[in-house]
Amino acid sequence: MGKAVKIYCVIFISILLFLQSCEKDVVNQPVIIETGSVTDIDGNTYRTVKIGNQWWMAENLKVKHYNNGEAILNTSIIASDSAWEACLIGSYCFYSDSLLGCLYNHMALEDSRKIAPEGWHIPSDEEWKTLELHIGMSLQNTNEFAWRGTNEGEKLMNKALVGWPQSSIAFGSDLYGFSALAGGCRLHNGFLNQEKNTAFFWASNVISNKAFYRSLDAQKKNVFRQKTYRTYGMSVRCVKD
């Protein structure tokens, strides 16, 4: 091989490696456009992020009073499972509210006194779909149930090893600043999932006494959509009016 050809090959490989590096940087580059904050009735302040045309809370709700100042029923994690199962009014519990927020049954979300900060609300199933579409899920996938999409869940998860188990397959990129954490859930029978490897978020919609929700899992990269009993306890992310 001639000297000129060798030089050309070295230059070509160098350019190719440079372009691949640039492409990788672009892929991993956060696409957060705008951030802000919102404060609830208890004085808790939450980070917020604009994703597409929506403003989302970037932390789980941890308010313990309705917007009129009246207390939400606290069905503590140390209470019997049957106490949670039998509760037919708005209720919450927590095991790390400063980091993971509270787990609310759906009745708390439906209460006319409202738990979302003023000017914000519980996202509907359609608003969750809007978020999923913006971050890359196909329209067909958004309308499906169970696990859908490709890596949209990974994009919503907090960055790898922060709030998720080290065995996590879906190392979160937190590409849009949503920063989902593994808050777990409380089942309708009162059993509390404390494995800290899943995230569950309510939607506002109720059909035949069951409510829609989304879920993320440490062993999955996509997003789960389903509806279940309103007596489950799940995390809440609010969206701006």
CA dist 241 and 156 (Å) reads 21
| Domain boundaries of the chain, sorted by first residue | 1-30, 34-240
Mean pLDDT of 92-106: 93
Q: Hey, what are 58's tokens? A: 């970037």
Question: In sequence order, which residues have a C-beta less than 8 Å from that of residue 19 and are 6 or more positions away?
Answer: none
- pLDDT tens digits, 148-179: 999 999 999 998 667 788 777 777 999 999 99
Q: With bands split at pLDDT 50, 70 and 90, how would you rate the model's confidence at 2? A: low
Q: pTM of the full predicted structure?
A: 0.86
Per DSSP, helices labelled H in 3-151 are 3-28, 81-86, 97-100, 106-110, 125-134, 139-142
- pLDDT tens digits, 181-197: 999 999 988 888 767 79
